[in-house]
Amino acid sequence: MRDPYTVLGVARNASADDIKKAYRKLAKQYHPDQGGGGNEERFKEVSAAYSLLSDTDKRARFDRGEIDAAGSERHAGGGRWSSSTRGRAGGTGGGGDDAFGDDFWFSDLFGARKRGGAAGAGGSAGVKAKGTDIAYSVTVPFMEAALGTKRRISLSNGKSIDVAIPPGTDNEQKLRLKGQGLAGLGGGTPGDAIVEVHVEPHPLFTRQGADIHLEVPITLYEAVLGASIRVPTVNGAVSVKVPPGSNTGSVLRLRGKGVMNQTTKSPGDQYVKLRVVLPDPPDSELMEFMEKWARTRSYDVRKKAGLE
């Protein structure tokens, strides 16, 4: 098996990201579903190289010469085939072309002899490995994520698939589609497609877990006298009672009006925070009434809050 760095076309000091990028490019190019002669064998070679180099421990052991390109242990005492031994082993003088290259090991040669029967018949011991997962992303509006929807994505093999986005899907939540990644190597199971869902913000609603939060303005007389008002929820508007004497910052809880909790399979709640809004522009009659009212009332809100 060829040097995995050569197979992926990366330097020996390449970063993990560089290795992944090189693999994805080659895997897409040589995937059997893309057609073309020799694609399957080239794809297997690329996948095997990535399987070794993407594993930090295996890569380090390969770099130290402890395992070969197939991930097999090197034989104890195996010497390295170099220009100093080339002539003696091959029965020819030094200075000629090195057919094996400076990175050929005796253990590779002995291993090839042991596999001679299968290799001579055109067979291969092969490497069995799970296919690589492929990452995708979709963007959906807040309400569609809250209620559930579908999005169609194009896979790396050119096929399209409808992805079900469950009700209550949160921002940056990842959905795993089993078996929709790259094909496995040597009969290994295929990888998965990992779909990251990005949820657009909503102009009114904010979300905390499965709960929805909403600020609702109310008039002065609704705050003083109480009222029944219509409030939006993710499932449509509902009627809510504002208790008499409500203040800015008062919170009303609407049970079961949040989004679906995917763990408990039950909806969260919606919290309505009230905000009292005075008339704009100011109402002259209201101002006159308040002047008379204030003369006979003790109404010190800052002292009660410890600000004086």
Helices (H), the chain: 4-8, 16-30, 39-53, 56-64, 83-90, 106-114, 116-120, 142-147, 220-225, 284-295, 301-304
Distance CA 104, CA 98 (A): 10
pLDDT of residue 112: 38
Q: Name the pTM for this structure.
A: 0.58
Handedness of CA 80, 81, 87, 92 (dihedral sign): positive
pLDDT of residue 32: 60
pLDDT of residue 155: 86
Structure-block tokens of residue 308 = 């004086």
pLDDT of residue 178: 93
Distance CA 284, CA 291 (A): 11
Contact 282, 302 (CB under 8 A): no
Distance CA 80, CA 90 (A): 14
Question: Terminal CA-to-CA distance of the chain, rounded, Å?
Answer: 82
Q: pLDDT truncated to tens, each residue of the chain (308 aa)?
A: 789 999 899 999 999 889 988 888 887 777 665 554 446 678 778 888 888 898 888 899 889 888 888 777 775 444 333 333 333 333 333 333 333 333 333 333 334 334 444 433 333 456 788 888 888 989 999 999 999 999 999 887 788 999 999 999 999 999 999 999 888 888 889 989 999 999 999 999 999 999 999 999 999 999 999 999 999 999 999 999 999 999 999 999 999 999 999 899 999 999 999 999 999 999 999 999 999 999 888 888 888 778 87
Distances (CA, A) of 245 to 66, 218, 221, 271, 300: 78, 12, 9, 18, 16
Q: Going by C-beta distance under 8 Å and a sequence separation of 6 or more, which residues neighbour residue 77?
A: none
